[in-house]
Chains A and B, each alone.
Chain A
Amino acid sequence: AQSVAQPEDQVNVAEGNPLTVKCTYSVSGNPYLFWYVQYPNRGLQFLLKYITGDNLVKGSYGFEAEFNKSQTSFHLKKPSALVSDSALYFCAVRDMAGYSTLTFGKGTMLLVSP
């Protein structure tokens, strides 16, 4: 069975500082990995995905994520946080092999202070 772990319920960072939101995964085969963001009272918005190739993936709003196969991680990063980045972030995984559904982590709340 596939799974996603987001070990931090909340991440606090000051505006202008770099941010990292952690994600580790478990699949039997190779993964497709995704990051989504959820603002209050809104649905999830796609940020970025890893399919294959370059381990550093760039996405929307200046976010990027690094795929590390040996550590089974896909941490979300941004060089300089904005107050408007404050939201709930979800990591998700899908096994490349055969049919599989998208499995989400429990989410990490990012709070960026002015």
Chain B
Amino acid sequence: EAGVAQSPRYKIIEKRQSVAFWCNPISGHATLYWYQQILGQGPKLLIQFQNNGVVDDSQLPKDRFSAERLKGVDSTLKIQPAKLEDSAVYLCASSLEGGNLYNEQFFGPGTRLTVL
């Protein structure tokens, strides 16, 4: 079974530039998550999708971050404009979910973003 795919793996940009990350979840997984992992901290949820609908985006900085999951499969997370404090690893995860909060999440390798 193929895992969660993410691209790019690394990205370096100047502050105020824009950047986009792509994620393809495990086939059949209805729920998709984007996390931000700052060095030395645990992952923090940015947004959760159930199929193509947003379940939770309460911690997404909506003035600069946006995300979409068209057709309920792959997803894109965008930052525009980027700030220095956005430097982090952005992790995508998926799970069967469907209302079962005990389903484990499967993580992609992440995208390491450096904002200069």
Contact = CB atoms under 8 A, between A and B. Distances in A.
Interface of A: 4, 32, 34, 36, 41-46, 49, 51, 90, 92, 94, 96, 99-102, 104-107
Contacts, number: 53
B24 to A, nearest CB: 13
Nearest to B56: A101
Contacts of A46: 104-106
B101 A100 contact: yes
A43 B107 contact: yes
Given A43-B108, A106-B40, 9 more contacts: A4-B42, A32-B102, A34-B104, A42-B110, A46-B106, A90-B42, A94-B102, A99-B55, A107-B40
B45 A102 contact: yes
A46 B105 CA distance: 7
Given A101-B56, A104-B43, A44 B104 contact: no
